[in-house]
Amino acid sequence: MSTADKLFINMCKDILANGVWDTDYDVRPKWEDGTPAHTIKKFGIVNRYDLQESFPILTLRKTNFNAAVDELLWIWQKKSNNVNDLNSSIWNSWADEGGSIGKAYGYQLSIKHKYKEGEFDQVDRVIYDLKNNPASRRIMTNIYNFQDLHEMHLYPCAYSMTFNVSGNKLNAILNQRSQDILAANNWNVVQYSILVHMMAQISGLTAGELVHVIADAHIYDRHVPIIEELIEQKEHEAPTLIIDKNVVDFYKFAVDSFKLSNYEFNPFKVKVPIAV
């Protein structure tokens, strides 16, 4: 069993057995037919992934690895907020007629800030510190900019990364205010695991742990039977992540810089309704 499968199964069982339903509240998300999208949730889920032990991608079902990496690069490398720069349609529901999702995600990472060493955006500041001041306890990003929330088409869910160098290992904490466990959990774990590997490689470090902190970990009402079936699927061994070691510039990574060897997964296919 892969670590990702084990943690996912245990998390889902915990939410279903011990979670709290929000059916007593008026909720913002709606299903396509206009029905309120209620959830069962747990507060304060923390999962730890040792990136040296295995690459944390689900084998219970296929996670679209290339699309997940593409979205990560769209946000962190292109620093874009326009879906026309993305090679999938996952953000289309939040885009305007020009393709913009407002001042969200990549837009926030592109804003330059003043430091005593000069001007950096958040990504470039992380890279600078990892290379020049790895002992710093201030290596972090935050895209939950209250000043710009009214101009974001969706408030950031995964909003903060804190990087920490211990010895020769680069560890990180991903903070997430809210997560749709079925649609997004492993997707985000895969993405930010790749980000840790990227930052480690360009800094001459080894990827260590990714700690994923979720404030509101929820399963939507219409996802419950899917989750119940999914966590009973056969588990496979985790695949091996292969990275192009020739890339030493963060902005030179591409989707095909990353490959999975021996990625076995179940042919578990079901249309997952998305609440908006």
Cβ contacts of 140 within 8 Å, gap of 6 or more? 126, 160, 161, 162, 163
**Is 129 flagged in the annotation as binding?**
no
> Which run of H or of E encompasses 193?
helix 181-202
User: Is-catalytic flag, 12?
Assistant: no
**Is 180 flagged in the annotation as binding?**
yes
**Is 172 flagged in the annotation as binding?**
no
Query: In the structure, how many helices (H) and strands (E) does the chain have?
Result: 6, 10
**Is 233 flagged in the annotation as binding?**
no
* Eight-class DSSP state of 235: P
Nearest to 72 by CA among 206, 157, 193, 183: 193
Cβ contacts of 84 within 8 Å, gap of 6 or more? 99
**Is 66 flagged in the annotation as binding?**
no
**Is 214 flagged in the annotation as binding?**
no
Choice among 90, 154, 157, 255 that is catalytic: 157
**Is 177 flagged in the annotation as binding?**
yes
**Is 137 flagged in the annotation as binding?**
yes
**Is 54 flagged in the annotation as binding?**
no
Q: Give the three-class secondary structure for 148.
A: helix
Q: 174 phi and psi, to 5 degrees? A: -100, 120
**Is 178 flagged in the annotation as binding?**
yes
Burial of 81 (0-12, 13-18, 19+ CB in 10 A): buried
**Is 179 flagged in the annotation as binding?**
yes
Nearest to 66 by CA among 265, 261, 196, 259: 259
Burial of 17 (0-12, 13-18, 19+ CB in 10 A): exposed
**Is 132 flagged in the annotation as binding?**
no
Binding-site residues for dUMP sit at: 137-138, 177-180, 188, 218-220
Active site residues: 157
Binding-site members are 64, 137-138, 177-180, 188, 218-220, 275
